[in-house]
A and B are shown apart, each in its own frame.
Chain A
Amino acid sequence: MNRIKLFVFAIAALACPASVMAAHEMQTDSTEAKEEIDVNEIIGHHIADAHSWNIFGYTNSDGEKVELTIPLPVITYYKGDVLVRLSSAFEEEAVVEHNGLYYKMHHGKIYMTNAAGDIETDENGPINERPLDISITRNVVSMFMSVALLLLIFIGAARAYRKSSVPRGGNAMVETLVLFVKDIADEQIGKEKSDKFAPYILTLFFFIWINNIIGLIPFFPGGSNLSGNISFTGILAVFTFLTTAIFASKSYWKHNLTVPGIPFPMKFLLVPIEIVSMFTKPFTLLIRLLANVTGGHIIILSLLSMIFITQSYVMTIPSVLLSLVIFVLELIFGALQAYIFALLSSLYIGLAVKDEEHED
């Protein structure tokens, strides 16, 4: 009996984030009956990066929209002109003037305009020039927070070793996790060389994992789709590529660029394949993480959107339960994707640094 109670409680506790997320993302006026809701746009907004952080919003009894939004700094560079403003200055398509240049935010992107703020478009969207945008966006704030969290956890765990060599409590868990990831590096790179690369592999694993988890928290400090952002996964893949390229042994280059041991005409076929595969390896790392995390967010939001598409109370039960299942699955996938990224990175590094002196 107790077990059943616990199960029901667990379901209820887990269903909470799902319904909070539903309420958070569907801020459109659901009070007005049978209004068309553009689910694609809502999901797109959630997936994309933003210049401000929307915490919550609702429609009050007078029919006005009340929204609580944290403005974030917008920093742009355009031909020697550096603009630093809060994103609230750009609200409602306002034109911001700075040193004789006019800036305007249009659909979440900053464009250069004339004084009237005209945006010219062709069939591919706006053709106005864009400044170099290095703003502190929602994703960047989220990343700073996860970095702070990681530092807090791991510096604390490292300090615990000063007192005694046996860590207690949470620090013991950190030790287990660190050893688990260190084993990946030891296995794939080889014990003699893994000390050099283990810090990188550990950083990869914990950084991706914590960002996956934070991305699944539906309310304020979480909820940004950081590890499903192409720049995030791209830069990690570039790091892995550079590590393999810089620390690669002679035999790695020899095997990839000359492919010894095959008939000469075959080299015209195999050498290009080897060279292309050097680039596709990090590219698949990029795509895998991006597609898995973004796909997870899209599925959860689509299931929750079913309530708002059908506009019926009955639909709430299956859609919240289904999204709950996906939520649990995504928690596992968050760790699994971090593990696979760390595993494949150490595999590629291991392949590159091994100098095998075998007969060809």
Chain B
Amino acid sequence: MGSLISVGLGIIVFGLGIGIGNIGKSALDAMARQPEIASEIRTALLISAAFIEGAGMFAIVIAFLTAN
């Protein structure tokens, strides 16, 4: 059970990495194209990253709860 949870946590972080990486990539592209609205893009980047992270956090917390 414990090792299965570890594998699950790995998969969660894999998904989170892809998601947040994609946001960072698009944000960088957009900032390079339009540096004058970089601060707005940064806010949008942080908000969407926070949402994705929130979904991941749910999974991680549930994993911890089932581990005990």
Within 8 A of A (CB), among B47-68: 47, 50-51, 53-54, 57-58, 60-61
Q: How many B residues, CB 8 Å from partner?
A: 11
Decide yes or no whether B3 CB sits under 8 A from chain A: no
User: Which residue of chain A has the shortest Cβ distance to B55 in the bound complex?
Assistant: A284
Looking at chain B's contact residues, the main secondary structure is helix
**Residues of chain A with a CB closer than 8 A to B58's CB:** 284, 287
Bound Cα distance A340, B46 (Å): 7
Say whether B57 contacts A288, CB under 8 Å.
Answer: yes
Say whether A187 contacts B43, CB under 8 Å.
Answer: yes
Bound Cα distance A314, B46 (Å): 40
Within 8 A of B (CB), among A89-130: none
Bound Cα distance A235, B31 (Å): 37
Say whether A288 contacts B47, CB under 8 Å.
Answer: no
Bound Cα distance A339, B54 (Å): 15
Decide yes or no whether A23 CB sits under 8 A from chain B: no
CB distance from A337 to the nearest CB of B (A): 10
**Residues of chain A with a CB closer than 8 A to B57's CB:** 284, 287-288, 291
Say whether B47 contacts A343, CB under 8 Å.
Answer: yes
Decide yes or no whether A236 CB sits under 8 A from chain B: no
Decide yes or no whether A344 CB sits under 8 A from chain B: yes
Which among A288, A343, A347 is the interface contact of B54 at CB below 8 angstroms?
A: A288
Say whether A284 contacts B54, CB under 8 Å.
Answer: yes
**Residues of chain A with a CB closer than 8 A to B50's CB:** 288, 340, 343-344
User: Which residue of chain A has the shortest Cβ distance to B50 in the bound complex?
Assistant: A340
User: Which residue of chain B has the shortest Cβ distance to A289 in the bound complex?
Assistant: B57
Bound Cα distance A284, B49 (Å): 13
Bound Cα distance A347, B48 (Å): 12
Say whether B61 contacts A291, CB under 8 Å.
Answer: yes
CB distance from A204 to the nearest CB of B (A): 15
Residue pairs across A and B with Cβ atoms less than 8 A apart, 20 shown, are A187-B43, A284-B54, A284-B57, A287-B54, A287-B57, A287-B58, A287-B61, A288-B50, A288-B54, A288-B57, A291-B57, A291-B60, A339-B46, A340-B50, A343-B43, A343-B46, A343-B47, A343-B50, A344-B47, A344-B50
Q: Please report B residues at the A interface, Cβ cutoff 8 Å.
A: 43, 46-47, 50-51, 53-54, 57-58, 60-61
